[in-house]
Amino acid sequence: MTAIAIPPSIASRPSAQWLSKPKQLLINNQWVDPQGGETFDVFNPATGEVIAQVAAGEAADIDKAVKAARRAFEDGPWKKMTPSERGKIVWRIGELIDQHCDELAELETLDNGKPLAVAKVADVPLAGDIFRYMAGYATKLEGNTIPISVLYAPDSQFHAFTLREPVGVVGQIIPWNFPLLMAAWKLAPALACGCTVVLKPAEQTPLSAMRLGELALEAGLPEGVLNIVTGLGETAGAALASHNDVDKVAFTGSTEVGKMIVNAATGNLKKVTLELGGKSPNVIFKDADLNTAIPGAASAIFFNHGQCCCAGSRLYVEKEIFDEVASGIAEEAKKITVGDGFDENTVMGPLVSQEQFDRVTKYMDIGLNSGAKALCGGSANEAAKDGGYYVNPTILVDTHEQMQVVQEEIFGPVVTAMSFTDPEEIVARSNDSIYGLAAGVWTADISRAHRLAKAIKAGTVWVNCYNVFDSAMPFGGYKQSGWGREMGHEVLNNYLQTKSVCIGL
């Protein structure tokens, strides 16, 4: 067994004490060992050292968790609870997240690499907020009364209405880029709707979801309502997606695995929602306020080290201002201190894993070898020589749509910058992608802003801003960026189904 290295930066903090406990599976409100007795290593991306050994759940554990979730859904106190009681528990989870902000943020930095200050102001508060936002819906899941005409029975009278019912046992599979927040986006609406859940966190970042599991029990979730099975995608994830007693699977991750989830779901035709990859266009017109557009475009790609499904990774700049914008973003990039997320000066931490480091640096090479030029970055950061997964924020110019780096999702701090001359052509170029998750438009022309917002095929269009998220605003993809929406009241459709009731009077 590899020795566990807890970084000195957190040695005296609550997160370090928590880390030293065994990392088991949460099934039926008990923390239990996996049936196969296996574990997998979890790494500190800042150093490459092992920070935890976590239970490797497999198909048998998924089956046990699904059975617990099924019992809880059909017969448990959860089903009998009033909406108000259910909402109160969901709300309490949000409160407990806020109360444990420092500890959760530390786990996030340790596990994912993101700067602690970012985890404290973004990841953790947003996670708490979505529980409180969704808690309110528990008491508002209303159907309609429907005046029906029934053409072939003109002399009869009917009373028709709809009920909004929880879809049942839900499997949720989440990625590593916002480990706690992705768990929260999935769990909060599912619980508010009265579903029961089996959650599989990403193998790279399982820690904050496990701590969230403890807080959810503290908030009063009854037995079996939330089960957490850590493990690998190919085993635990695949078993969850294909399980015949799971009514619905909600997935966030790569488009490639999203397609595997769809295939796996065919056995019992479980419902599927998907939040997948992107290659989002970010368009800057010459009339834009460059004092906001330049730092905005930098943040669109460099926030979370570019490990955002909605990262503004295809930059289009009107020709007259191209050089000014590209060099302005390069200046922003040079101001970014790359380092350990626990260091106060760090703006960009390491990438999440060796695999992701290899992937991003490979794409940098592919871009440079196919004729692109790096205005800044274009390589690993020198801090990587000590074992951390550090890369430099990168702007690639001399790029065009046929290049692999322009077509494919890199999922790192690498933006491809291109110019345009004809404002009319920019819609077609923006839409020239298999993806359609998000887009940015920077302009002072309000009519153009509205025209583009309508014409761009993306689930979110940000105008004169980027990466604005709110629990109330739906998020999700057009085209191969996904099925369904998260957040806002739209997400309730993912976890409810509608029953029509018709009474002959």
Active site residues: 275, 309
Q: How far is the CB of 257 from ligand NAP (least distance, A)?
A: 3
Residue 35 phi/psi, 5-degree rounding, is -65, -30
Q: Does 200 bind ligand NAP (CB under 6 A)?
A: yes
Considering only residues 260, 395, 487, 496, which one is a binding residue for ligand NAP as defined by CB under 6 A? 260
Binding track over 7-46 against ligand NAP, x by CB under 6 A: ----------------------------------------
Residue 176 or 322 having the CB closest to ligand NAP: 176
The residue (of 233 and 341) whose beta carbon lies closer to Mg ion is 233
Question: Does residue 253 bind ligand NAP (CB under 6 A)?
Answer: yes
Q: What is the CA radius of gyration of the chain?
A: 24
Instruction: Return the one option of Mg ion, ligand NAP, none that residue 100 interacts with (CB less than 5 to 8 A, by type).
Output: none
Give the integer Cα–Cα distance in Å for 225 and 221.
7
| Chain positions contacting Mg ion, by CB under 5 A | 233
Among 32, 117, 232, 453, binds ligand NAP (CB under 6 A): 232
Residue nearest ligand NAP by beta-carbon distance: 233
In this structure, the number of other CB atoms found within 10 A of the CB of residue 468 comes to 8
Using rule CB under 6 A, residue 277 touches ligand NAP: yes
Pairing of strands 373-376, 394-397: antiparallel
Burial class of residue 481 in the structure, from the number of CB atoms within 10 Å of its CB (0-12 exposed, 13-18 middle, 19+ buried): buried
**202 touching ligand NAP, by CB under 6 A:** yes
Tokens representing 295 are 């730092």
CA distance 392 to 410: 14
Closest CB 113 distance from Mg ion, rounded Å? 17
Residue type, 109: T
Phi/psi for 379 (5° steps) reads: -155, 175
The residues, ordered by sequence, that sit 6+ positions from 495 with a Cβ below 8 Å of its Cβ are: 166, 167, 170, 189, 190, 192, 193, 195, 248
Contacting residue, 131, 137, 176, 363, with ligand NAP by CB under 6 A:
176
Which range of residues in 24-32, 227-235, 314-322, 375-383 is near ligand NAP by CB under 6 A? 227-235
Judged by CB under 6 A, which of 172, 177, 227, 273 binds ligand NAP? 177
Given 252, 346, 392, 430, the residue binding ligand NAP (CB under 6 A): 252
Residues 170/249, Cβ–Cβ less than 8 Å = yes
| End-to-end CA separation in angstroms for the chain | 70
90 vs 491 by CB, closer to ligand NAP: 491
Q: Which of 221, 241, 248, 225 is nearest to 167 (CA)?
A: 248
Q: Which residue has the tokens 């570019």?
A: 306
Stretch that binds ligand NAP, among 9-17, 49-57, 248-256, 397-405 (CB under 6 A): 248-256
Nearer to ligand NAP, 76 or 206 (CB): 206
**Does the footprint of ligand NAP cover residue 203 (CB under 6 A)?**
yes
Residue nearest to Mg ion (CB): 233
Q: Which does 276 bind (CB under 5 to 8 A by kind): ligand NAP, Mg ion, none?
A: ligand NAP
Q: State the Cα angle at 118 between 94 and 23, rounded to 5°.
A: 60
210 binds, among Mg ion, ligand NAP, none (CB under 5 to 8 A by kind): none
Count of CB atoms within 10 A of residue 37's CB? 8
Select the span of 60-68, 80-88, 197-205, 440-448 touching ligand NAP (CB under 6 A): 197-205
Nearest CA to 23 out of 203, 167, 186, 166 is that of 203
What is the sign of the dihedral through the CA atoms of 212, 218, 219 and 221? Answer: positive
Contacts with 243 (C-beta within 8 Å, 6 or more apart), sequence order:
62, 63, 66, 171
**What are 422's two structure tokens?**
């004809």
Nearer to ligand NAP (CB atom), residue 94 or residue 206: 206
**How many binding residues for ligand NAP (CB under 6 A)?**
28
Pick out residues in 376-435 that bind ligand NAP (CB under 6 A). 409, 411
Nearer to ligand NAP, 91 or 176 (CB): 176
Q: Which residues bind ligand NAP (CB under 6 A)?
A: 173-177, 200, 202-204, 232-234, 237-238, 241, 252-254, 257, 260-261, 275-277, 309, 359, 409, 411
